Structure 1
Amino acid sequence: MPAHLMPAQAAYPSPLADMTLQRHSLFHGAAIFIKDTSGRIHLALTRAFLVRWMVALAIGDLPFAGLRVGLLMIASLALCGAAKLQAMPRDDLTGSASRIEVKDETGRTVQIPQPVRRIVSLAPSVTETLFALGVGDRLVGDTDFCDYPPEAKRKAHIGGPVNPNIEAIAALHPDLVVATREINRPDSVHSLERLGIAVYATDPQTVEQVLTSTELLGELLGAGDAGRLLVASLRQRLGEVGRRLAGLPAKNVLMVVWLDPVISVGRNTFLDDALRRAGARSVIDSPQSWPTIDLEQVVHLQPEYLIISNDNLKQVQRELAELHERPGWRRLGAVRNRRFIVLSEAISHPSPRLVDGIEQLARALYPSAFAADAAFVGDHRWNRRKFAIARISQPCFSFTQTGGCP
């Protein structure tokens, strides 16, 4: 599931029961209903951190889930009390001599010590962006799910984005914590602020906003030149994709975010915008960011392609083979004819790697538009490869994979 779906605490005692997960953000909330069945296939953006979090909760020791939530609440209250005793000016901890006052992307006023020498990231997409800006050496901590680039896995981990360890963050003495509106809970932000730790939140909702967010973060961290060069390169690559696809009709697709129930992407999300830029048109036109779709509706809409974002090829092979055996899904021409497009998880993160995912999808949908230029994608370290799909006799879709696990 995309990195900005925000689960919360509710769970029911049976692994066959419905699970209600609340989505929280810094400013709004909505409910997402996940039906956990023992035989379900995970065709979500499976390595995105929220899928792993929800799957672990769904198939784990659910009879004790309520107890765990209660313990977390008690621990949070205890930590808040301790924080009041331990809070001290950040200048005393970091040696920063001055602060600047800025508004973050959610409209919050934040006072940030200057220069920013020590950073903690609360989201995989933030971590990727920091490394892309060339300030990865200043990153002193990130989440348990930050694994791209590989250097991110060697940083101190502060827990998950949903429930980060506030005490562990404080122990790293950060000048700045970078969060993202759709992932991180207000409680986490407020707890850090009470400790005198500056928290800057990003909030990109379109591909263009991902670029501007990257450039703004570069300016804030004293990497303005690197940010401008990076964003200029990304815009050039997007422009080249647009030039190659100009005049070609968009192809109808279904982005499979979750399988049981079917969850896809709605309007006004960076992922829906990414699909459009790659020459795809989602058959789901919903004002909800991540709508739950009835399978009968999908059958009626008959998308030309099913799109899955997953870096685990063996898992994809296994799951698509099982999907092909499901009677309801076999009513889709895309399933019967094996029209699956398997992308890397770059497309699921609102970071500079999103452009990699757009290029991958455009290549898969319109191979003839890119066939003459095998070196089109900017990262020369990755070679063209084919993603094998289980039980498919037709040629596999190929694309250039330009990133590793997110």
Structure 2
Amino acid sequence: MLLSASLPGMEANAQVSSAPAAAAITLTDARGRAVQLAAPPQRIVSLLPSLAESVCALGACTRIVGVDRYTTWPPALAHLPRLGGNLEPNIEAVLALRPDVVLISVASRAIGRLEALGLKVIALEPRTHAEVHGVLRTLATMLALPQGAEPVWARMEQGLAEAARAMPAQARGQRVYFEASRGPFAAGENSFIGETLARLGLVNIVPAALGPFPRLNPEYVVRADPDLLMGGVRSLGESREPYPGWSALRAMQSGRICRFAGAEADLVIRPGPRIAEAAMAMARCVQKVYP
């Protein structure tokens, strides 16, 4: 993902004494598309939860005026208009908010329609830790934050290190399967979830060659027979066998299953500024199943 920005020098505004005008900003989003903003946006619509979380982590929550229906954090956004799903948002509702910029998933089918209406659209969708860092840097530049994204990233790195230290010694090197969503869709080695698992000292049974979030045949997991299962309750179920044949898995038989529910289920599958918190949630569960 190419992430670049230029901040031209500020010019004097002859109409308002000698006060400097706001600097124009040019960003390149995940499509490789250059997006030009006349000034740092004051009215932001976010149509992807991780992007809203990132803007808030950078201290600009008050600039967000609308979000998609899946955005649940932070609580400060709870009162904002809900604009539908992130793939097919309510275009009229977005337009009515008069946003300076719309942050959106690369996969959204609404990008072309929003741009045709004259809206500025920045498409970003991180899949790795490095891309999460890059998105934070892009958003910090968009917001014209003098401190940039590095303080936020440094706290995230510190939190990841703390989560790794919290892992039980006997769990290190254990083979894990993480189900990102029902299908089963797995979190592979080269996804942000896979990278978090590696930071925790776990070994992913889904290699990078299969892609970040491949759809697997459930039999693949049976053959791999991981020591530990992780995923949301919606995927793995409360207690039942998630897929035929999985009752024979050593993880199922030993009860080494981390099922995340509610807000925690959202936390562990979102590639944003709360990756370290997700890592700690994983570590807490591993502590319970590897006492």
Residues 127 and 191 in structure 2, CA contact (< 8 A), matched pair in contact too: yes
Shift of 1:331: 0.8
Shift of 1:266: 2.5
Alignment-derived partner of residue 268 in structure 1? 190
Summarize the Cα distance change of 1:203–1:327 in structure 2 as closer, same or farther, 3 Å threshold: closer
Residues 279 and 362 in structure 1, CA contact (< 8 A), matched pair in contact too: no
Q: Can you give the 5+ residue segments of structure 2 that lack an aligned partner in the other structure?
A: 1-20
Q: How many matched pairs?
A: 264
Given the alignment of the two structures, is residue 158 of structure 1 paired with residue 83 of structure 2, yes or no?
yes
Shift of 1:239: 3.6
Alignment-derived partner of residue 305 in structure 1? 228
SS of structure 2 residue aligned to 1:275:
helix
Q: How does 1:139-150 map to 2 (within 5 A)?
A: 139-150=64-75
The aligned amino acid for 2:214 is P
Alignment-derived partner of residue 357 in structure 1? 278
1:307-345 CA-partner distances (Å, limit 9, x unpaired): 0135xxxx799x332228x76121111111211113423
Given the alignment of the two structures, is residue 184 of structure 1 paired with residue 184 of structure 2, yes or no?
no
Matching residue within 153, 159, 179 for 1:237: 159
Residues 147 and 153 in structure 1, CA contact (< 8 A), matched pair in contact too: yes
Residues 132 and 273 in structure 2, CA contact (< 8 A), matched pair in contact too: yes
The aligned amino acid for 1:359 is M
Alignment-derived partner of residue 61 in structure 2? 136
Residues 192 and 199 in structure 1, CA contact (< 8 A), matched pair in contact too: yes
Matching residue within 225, 228, 241 for 1:323: 241
SS of structure 2 residue aligned to 1:177:
strand
Alignment-derived partner of residue 11 in structure 2? none
The aligned amino acid for 2:219 is E
SS of structure 2 residue aligned to 1:292:
coil
Residues 102 and 122 in structure 2, CA contact (< 8 A), matched pair in contact too: yes
Given the alignment of the two structures, is residue 205 of structure 1 paired with residue 123 of structure 2, yes or no?
no
- Paired with 2:256 and 2:95, the residues of 1 have a C-alpha distance of 49
Shift of 1:215: 2.6
Alignment-derived partner of residue 288 in structure 1? 211
Residues 118 and 175 in structure 1, CA contact (< 8 A), matched pair in contact too: yes
- Paired with 2:181 and 2:153, the residues of 1 have a C-alpha distance of 31
Given the alignment of the two structures, is residue 102 of structure 1 paired with residue 27 of structure 2, yes or no?
yes
Shift of 1:233: 1.3
Shift of 1:243: 6.2
- Paired with 1:307 and 1:269, the residues of 2 have a C-alpha distance of 15
Residues 130 and 136 in structure 1, CA contact (< 8 A), matched pair in contact too: yes
Shift of 1:132: 1.3
Residues 113 and 175 in structure 1, CA contact (< 8 A), matched pair in contact too: no
Alignment-derived partner of residue 41 in structure 2? 116
Shift of 1:141: 0.7
Percentage of matched positions with identical amino acids: 29
Shift of 1:300: 1.9
SS of structure 2 residue aligned to 1:225:
coil
Note the aligned Cα RMSD (angstroms): 2.8
SS of structure 2 residue aligned to 1:320:
coil
- Paired with 2:121 and 2:225, the residues of 1 have a C-alpha distance of 44
SS of structure 1 residue aligned to 2:147:
helix
Matching residue within 248, 255, 260 for 2:178: 255
Q: Can you give the 5+ residue segments of structure 1 that lack an aligned partner in the other structure?
A: 1-95, 368-395, 399-406
Alignment-derived partner of residue 199 in structure 2? 277
Shift of 1:111: 1.0
- Paired with 2:181 and 2:163, the residues of 1 have a C-alpha distance of 28
Matching residue within 322, 337, 360 for 2:254: 337
Q: How does 1:62-101 map to 2 (within 5 A)?
A: 99-101=24-26
Shift of 1:357: 0.9
SS of structure 1 residue aligned to 2:240:
helix
- Paired with 1:132 and 1:316, the residues of 2 have a C-alpha distance of 29
Residues 347 and 355 in structure 1, CA contact (< 8 A), matched pair in contact too: no
SS of structure 2 residue aligned to 1:141:
strand
